[in-house]
Each structure stands twice: as structure tokens, then as C-alpha cells.
Amino acid sequence: MDNSNNVMSKLQKLRLESKFPNGSTLVENQLLLDVKSLCAELLEEQKSLKKRLQKVEENQKIENAKIKEELENLKNGGNRVADNSLFEIFVFDDYKYHAVEVRNSYLIRYVRVKVANLLNNDLVESFNLYYGGQKLQDNRSIGSYNIDQSREIYLKKKKKLSTLLLNVTMIINLLPANLI
């Protein structure tokens, strides 16, 4: 009996040695390793997504703050500006400058150069004006072009005039204080 018990204990010992520390078999252990590596990949992806989400949230907060600030400025500024000093705009047509005076409180909403025929005063062409390489566009303030209040702005036409008369026309509206 002692021999059979000894053989049984050796067999049990051999079985225990063939098992892994947690008692799983080789197949079960490989599955656990696969699951563990997949979990690690998912965790890294989750961290990456979390970082991207944080960046998006930060950018959104910045945008929201800018919008709130603009709204507050519009509420506080009203439609009139205390400083109503004159602001000169010079339009250069490759031959000479033409000065146009506007108030500091104006928003130049539509700026275009109209070229008229000298013989019959008909409108021949309309040119857009540029400042600092940027085309002046509708519904943009003077401040959006980084034009300071130095009283002189030089605008240059993109197309050369020949012998036609230059007539600068503007439609102007009041500009809120925060846009100057």
C-alpha cells in the first residue's frame, strides 16, 4: 500500500507541476495572455481617445470664451463709439492717391472702386480694394484687418486704371466700439 500511495503522490505531484501557478492549463493560460494583450491595446487606445477629447474640450472652451467675450463687448459697447474722430482712407490707382474721410465710429461694410467712363459717365468696371494683401470684404470691421487708428490707411486696387476716372464709393454703417 505504501508503494501505491507513493506512486499516487508522485502522480499528483507531476500533475501539479504540469499546471501553472494559478492552476490553469496551457491552453487556458494562452487565452488569458491574449485577453491581457488585447486589454492593454484597448487601454492605450482609450488613453489616446481621452487625450484627443481633452484637446477638443479645451479648444471648445476657448471658442466659447471668445464668443462670450464678443457678446459682452457688443452688449457693453452699444452701437456708438465715444471717439468720433476722422479716419482717412487713401486709395491708390497707380497714378495718384484719392482720400476718403470717414468717422472713427464707422464700419465700412461695402468698399469698392467704381471706374466711370469719362465721355458718358457710365459705370464701366468695379474693382475690389485690398489692404495688406487682403481683399476688403462685406461685414468686416476695420479692426478685423488689423488696421490701427493712425488716421491713414492706404488701399491699393489690384487692377491698373488706364485713362478712366476713379470714383471711390462707400456704404458705411455705425461700428460697435469693440470692433475698432
The pair phi, psi for residue 100, each rounded to 5°, is: -130, 125
Domain layout of the chain by residue ranges: 12-77, 86-179
The Cα–Cα gap between 73 and 33 comes to 60
Could you give the percent of the chain with pLDDT greater than 90?
Answer: 6
Determine the pLDDT at residue 109.
42
- Helix (H) / strand (E) element for 2: namely helix 2-18
Band (47; pLDDT cuts 50, 70, 90): very high
Spell out where 33-151 has E strands.
Answer: 86-92, 97-103, 106-116, 123-131, 134-135
116 DSSP assignment: E
Residue 172 has pLDDT above 50, yes or no: no
List C-alpha distances in Å: 43 to 37, 39, 46, 54, 56. Answer: 10, 6, 5, 16, 20
Convert the pLDDT of each residue in 104-144 to its tens digit. 444 544 344 444 444 555 544 455 555 555 666 555 555 55
Residue with cell 464701366: 124
Q: pTM of the prediction?
A: 0.29
Determine the pLDDT at residue 60.
87
- Supply the CATH classification number for the domain 86-179: 3.10.20
Nearest CA among 112, 111, 91, 113 for reference residue 100? 91
| The three grid cell numbers given for residue 48, joined into one nine-digit string | 489616446
Determine the pLDDT at residue 48.
92
Least confident interval from 48-57, 110-119, 156-165 = 156-165
Residue 61 has pLDDT above 80, yes or no: yes
The Cα–Cα gap between 134 and 92 comes to 15
Residue 16 has pLDDT above 80, yes or no: no
The number of angstroms, rounded, from the C-alpha of 35 to the middle of its chain's C-alpha atoms is 42
| The three grid cell numbers given for residue 45, joined into one nine-digit string | 487606445
